[in-house]
A and B are shown apart, each in its own frame.
Chain A
Amino acid sequence: MARPATKPKADTLPGKSKSPQAGDNSVSPEQLKTFYRDMLLIRRFEERAGQLYGMGLIGGFCHLYIGQEAVVVGMQSTIDDKDSIVTSYRDHGHMLAAGMDPKGVMAELTGRSGGYSKGKGGSMHMFSREKNFYGGHGIVGAQVPIGTGLAFAHKYRGNKNVSLTYFGDGSANQGQVYEAMNMAALWKLPVVYIIENNRYGMGTSVERSTAITELYKHGEAFGIPGEAVDGMDVLAVRAAGEKAVEHAKSGQGPYILEMQTYRYRGHSMSDPAKYRTKEEVDKYRSERDPIDHVRKLLLEGKVADEAALKAVDAEIRKIVNDSAEFAQHSPEPDPSELWTDVLVGA
């Protein structure tokens, strides 16, 4: 799935978002359909990953992105293929949105040689140089200095690209995050910090972990502008993202976007889910679902009818089925792979 062009087409459709940030946003019907398709791909892919995990075909930790799809799909629509992306271990959605092959991602989840890391990285550690996707990092917050370093490299080379550095509300309390923010502001590095606030770092709510719960304000000490965004509304995400990316690319330094979002599933597959009520989860699912939201816009705006959406569903289903099929039949890595890739040229 290629990143769509960022410029809205002439025949635009007004974004019918409740969010104030989306008020002046408008996207083309094609763009809106792409959003729908891309979010649906992540949703269906993750559901299938959950199923394969349940069957014992995926091991270890597996952190699903279901519920948060609008964040990455909206943000990725604001950048081009020379820009860099880095995120945490909840990374499957980011890889799909960056245009990585679902087969390679799913095969890495099953630990097979056809996976992006030849089966040696797993769910939390996947990379694609080709797509400028720099991982997939398993240590909470470690990707923030790394993403700042990617921005440093853009500035060092004098290109006009940006680093999108994603992290969660849990990471937002790590010391290295603020070390990185300080340097990014000091050196005016082109980085957009996207805090995916899904309200719980594992089982601890933001209120129980964070003194100032408005995470978009966390760069204030460094003079980094920030704003809160409705992360369940892909149009609001895109509008805020365009502004932040423009800010960073024009040499004004870092920008913080706090995406207020929600994960429907547990922190990882083995999550007792005792820290929040079923009603809370149900409310988000039924009232705020990012995919239902776009589906409604498409139907109400007469951009697509039920039949057209059904065709999209079928296309996605085939992609996900093919990826699951591939991931189960790709062979396990050869034992000789134990000793490869420890060092370059050794």
Chain B
Amino acid sequence: MSIPVLMPALSPTMTEGKLAKWHVKVGDPVTSGQVICEIETDKATMEVEAVDEGTVAKILIEEGTEGVAVNTPICILAAEGESAADAAKSVSSTASESPAPKAEESPTAAKPSEEQKAAPPAPSSPPPAPEPEWSGKTVRMTVREALRDAMAEEMRKDGNVFLMGEEVAQYQGAYKVSQGLLEEFGDRRVIDTPITEHGFAGLGVGAGFAGLRPIVEFMTFNFAMQAIDQIINSAAKTLYMSGGQMGCPIVFRGPNGAAARVAAQHSQCYASWYAHVPGLRVLAPWSAADAKGLLKAAIRDPNPVIFLENEILYGQQFEVPDDPDFVLPIGKAKVERAGKDVTITAFSIMVGKALQAAEELAKHGIEAEVINLRSLRPFDTETIVASVKKTNRLVSVEEGWPFAGIGAELAAQMMDHAFDWLDAPVKRVAGLDIPLPYAANLEKMALPQADDIVKAAREVCNR
């Protein structure tokens, strides 16, 4: 059997090249791996090695030939036991033998349907069953305590859950969120790390691949920028790249957004950064009940979860269901206040500001419906659309920057799903498009306040 050797491509974009030099001549024996010729393009040169063994039966392209198309037969090898003359005769059109069957050739559903393209399922996947109203006993606790209890309960339940981060153990947490955990679970499961975000985020991802369930605390999400490669390239993408084999059950949590007077490098909202990424879940609790129910859900979830807390909320008190099995569904927004005139969406600390604004609006005769988004990926478009169908007006509130922010996405979602129900353009209230200033007056002006929300709501209501 004669074996044709084809002109190889050096890169996916190469279509032709020069056959610069032959290292063998007719009659020479060749072995696997032996360099038989050199080819050149304007970018690169390469030695072509024989893959098969045999004897050179015929050279089809002389050295020095320019413009040899990729996959053109350049010589013929005679296999063992075959005469070179026979092999040379059997030259045939072998080049186009086995190109990859292209997806387009498949007769049915070769491409995603238009509908699929228009509404990718990832961010707005079907929402889980609605959250039942809690009718049982509640206890009053701070967001800080709720987060701690959520971790403690899940650590008691599952020996694979552990907490690591800067100052989480002996110091009891930079913001005292992990108070008492070292005492209860010991230093095997509550681990102080060096200040090395990229390193310990990656270490956590490796432990997650191995089947543990790490909770990685960032002292603030501002520092997680050091680690964002591991979060996105390793944690979020590996399940897909492994064809579903290698999931990473991990929670990255810590305070996000502005605190108070810590200036630009310590005051940034990362909600839209992470919400942009398929393969992640992104949660942003407001109340202590959100914090507890969602953190427990995050720890139990088999996927990487970004859990955006807020430093100012840590000390605020809320009623929390008194039940170790209380867990909130991921992907479900919550209507915090019902109203008929305008829908206001917010997440994290801005939910409080939105509720404050709603009180003020009531004085002007405007009944605002306030929706606590809670889950930014998956995004509960359905709850918001249902509200907008009732109010016909939407104000989006977020602390982060407006450009390509959560509000921008919301406005686009409304174009897709609620265009005919809107009586006014979607209005965004967001942090100013500047690094956050330090001075008290400037800081206040740069962050959304209840007054800004009131103003925006009155604008869309035209009163």
Contacts and interface: CB of A to CB of B under 8 A. Distances in A.
Q: Chain A CB within 10 Å — which of B45, B51, B234 has the most?
A: B51
A90 to B, nearest CB: 16
Interface stretch (A4-12, A20-28, A252-260, A266-274): A266-274
B211 interface: yes
A55 interface: yes
Contact of A146 (B8, B99, B209): B209
A183 B194 contact: yes
Interface stretch (B101-109, B336-344, B414-422): B101-109
Given A142-B202, A145-B206, A50 B49 contact: yes
A335 B103 contact: yes
B100 A134 contact: no
Q: Is the interface of B mostly helix, strand, loop or mixed?
A: loop
B299 to A, nearest CB: 14
B49 A47 contact: yes
A60 interface: yes
Nearest to B14: A270
Interface in A135-150: 135-139, 142, 144-150
A47 B249 CA distance: 38
A144 B234 CA distance: 12
Interface stretch (B171-179, B239-247, B251-259, B444-452): B239-247
B370 to A, nearest CB: 28
A70 to B, nearest CB: 16
Contact of B121 (A126, A128, A145, A339): A339
Contacts of B246: 127, 129, 134-135
Contacts of B243: 115-121, 341
B8 A182 contact: no
Interface in A118-174: 118-121, 125-129, 134-139, 142, 144-154, 156, 163
Given A56-B71, A344-B303, A149 B100 contact: no
A51 interface: yes
B199 A145 contact: yes
Given A147-B206, A152-B206, A183-B200, A142 B99 contact: no
A180 B229 contact: no
A254 B45 CA distance: 41
A346 B279 CA distance: 10
B199 A342 contact: no
Given A59-B12, A150-B207, A341-B243, A273 B45 contact: yes
B238 interface: yes
Given A118-B244, A153-B211, A44 B206 contact: no
A202 interface: no
A107 B243 CA distance: 13
A44 B32 contact: yes
Size bracket, chain B contacts: 35 or more
Given A142-B229, A335-B109, A60 B12 contact: yes
A128 B96 CA distance: 34
A201 interface: no
A167 B15 CA distance: 33
A270 B11 CA distance: 5
Interface string B33-67: 10000000001111011010000000000000000
Contacts of A51: 8, 51
A294 to B, nearest CB: 15
A51 to B, nearest CB: 5
Given A120-B240, A145-B199, A53 B207 contact: no
Contacts of A115: 243
A308 B243 CA distance: 39
B242 A121 contact: yes
Interface in A60-104: 60, 66, 84, 86
A179 B210 contact: no
Contacts of A50: 8, 49, 51
Contacts of B46: 266, 269, 271, 273
B210 A344 contact: no
Contacts of A1: none
B230 to A, nearest CB: 6
Given A153-B210, A183-B196, A342-B279, A328 B239 contact: no
B263 interface: no
A345 B202 contact: no
Contact of B44 (A110, A134, A272): A272
Nearest to B197: A179
Contact of B242 (A126, A138, A146): A126
Q: Chain B CB within 10 Å — which of A53, A182, A342 has the most?
A: A342
Contacts of B297: none
A288 interface: no
28 contacts: A50-B8, A54-B70, A57-B100, A117-B245, A118-B244, A120-B240, A120-B241, A121-B243, A129-B245, A135-B242, A142-B229, A142-B233, A145-B201, A145-B202, A146-B206, A146-B234, A150-B210, A156-B188, A176-B202, A182-B199, A270-B10, A270-B14, A272-B44, A335-B106, A339-B116, A341-B244, A343-B239, A346-B303
Given A317-B32, A343-B239, 18 more contacts: A56-B71, A116-B242, A117-B242, A117-B243, A117-B245, A142-B202, A142-B233, A146-B206, A149-B202, A150-B207, A153-B212, A156-B207, A183-B203, A266-B44, A273-B46, A335-B110, A336-B109, A341-B242
Interface of A: 43-44, 47-48, 50-51, 53-57, 59-60, 66, 84, 86, 110-111, 115-121, 125-129, 134-139, 142, 144-154, 156, 163, 175-176, 179-180, 182-183, 186, 266, 269-273, 317, 328, 331-332, 335-336, 338-346
Q: 5 nearest interchain CB pairs? A: A149-B206, A54-B8, A145-B202, A179-B199, A153-B210
